[in-house]
Amino acid sequence: MKNSRHKIIAGARIHFERFVDSQTAPSEEPLPLTHTTDAFDLRDIIADREIKPRYCSVFGEDLSYHFYGRPAYRKNAETQANSLAAYAPVIFIFKPTVADKAIAAFPFDSGAYVGERYSDIMHHRMSVKDFGLAPPFEKIGKLVAFYFGNNKRYFDQIPSSIKGISSSEFEAQSIKELVTYRGKNERDDRSSTIEIVFDRAIELRGNLLGIIVPNSFIKDRAFRAQLTSTLKYFGLRFGELRFFRNADLGNISLTSLIGVQQLKREATSSFARARGSNLRQITKSYFEDPSGVLRVVCTFSSRYEGKGKRKYWFGYHETWDRWLEESEESFLLLGCVDTRMFLRYRYSL
Decide if pLDDT at 53 tops 90: yes
Per-residue pLDDT of 175-229, as tens digits, reads 999 998 766 555 566 788 999 999 999 999 899 988 888 777 777 788 778 777 8
**How much is the pLDDT for 260?**
80
CB 92 within 8 A of CB 211: yes
CA distance 195 to 106: 5
Q: 24-28, 311-315, 318-322: which has the minimum mean pLDDT?
A: 311-315
**How much is the pLDDT for 254?**
42
Decide if pLDDT at 252 tops 50: no
What whole-number percentage of the chain has pLDDT above 90? 42
Most confidently modeled range among 90-99, 244-253, 297-306? 90-99
**How much is the pLDDT for 108?**
93
Q: Residue 123 — very low, low, confident or very high, per pLDDT cuts 50/70/90?
A: very high
Mean pLDDT, the chain, rounded, equals: 83
**How much is the pLDDT for 73?**
59
Decide if pLDDT at 77 tops 90: no
DSSP collapsed to 3 states, the chain: CCCCCCCCCCCCCCHHHHHHHCCCCCCCCCCCEEEEEEHHHHHHHHHHCEECCEEECCCCEEEEEEEECCCCCCCCCCCCCCCCHHHCEEEEEECHHHHHHCCEEECCCHHHHHCCCCHHHCCCCCCHHHHCECCCCHHHHHHHHHHHCCHHHHHHCCCCCCCCCCCCCHHHHHHHHHHCCCCCCCCCHHHHCCEEEECCCEECCCCEEEEECCHHHHCCHHHHHHHHHHHHHCCCCCCCEEEEECCCCCCCCCCCHHHHHHHHHHHHHHHHHHHCCCCEECCCCEEECCCCCEEEEEEEECEEEECCEEEECCCCCHHHHHHHHCCCEEEEEEEECCCCEEEEEECCC
Q: Residue 240 — very low, low, confident or very high, per pLDDT cuts 50/70/90?
A: low
Q: 221-225, 262-266, 321-325: which has the minimum mean pLDDT?
A: 221-225
Q: 23-32, 122-131, 255-264: which has the minimum mean pLDDT?
A: 255-264
Decide if pLDDT at 80 tops 60: no
Q: Residue 348 — very low, low, confident or very high, per pLDDT cuts 50/70/90?
A: low
Q: How many CA atoms lie within 13 A of 48 on its CB side?
A: 12
**How much is the pLDDT for 110?**
92
Q: Residue 236 — very low, low, confident or very high, per pLDDT cuts 50/70/90?
A: confident
Q: How far is CA 195 from CA 10, 74, 87, 166, in A?
A: 17, 13, 22, 25
Decide if pLDDT at 289 tops 70: yes
Residue that wins the pLDDT comparison between 218 and 88: 88
Q: Residue 242 — very low, low, confident or very high, per pLDDT cuts 50/70/90?
A: low
pLDDT mean over 26-42: 91
Q: Residue 62 — very low, low, confident or very high, per pLDDT cuts 50/70/90?
A: very high
pTM: 0.71
CB 292 within 8 A of CB 313: no
Residue spans per domain, the chain:
15-203, 240-346
**How much is the pLDDT for 93?**
93
Q: Residue 251 — very low, low, confident or very high, per pLDDT cuts 50/70/90?
A: very low
pLDDT mean over 161-185: 87
CA distance 174 to 90: 32
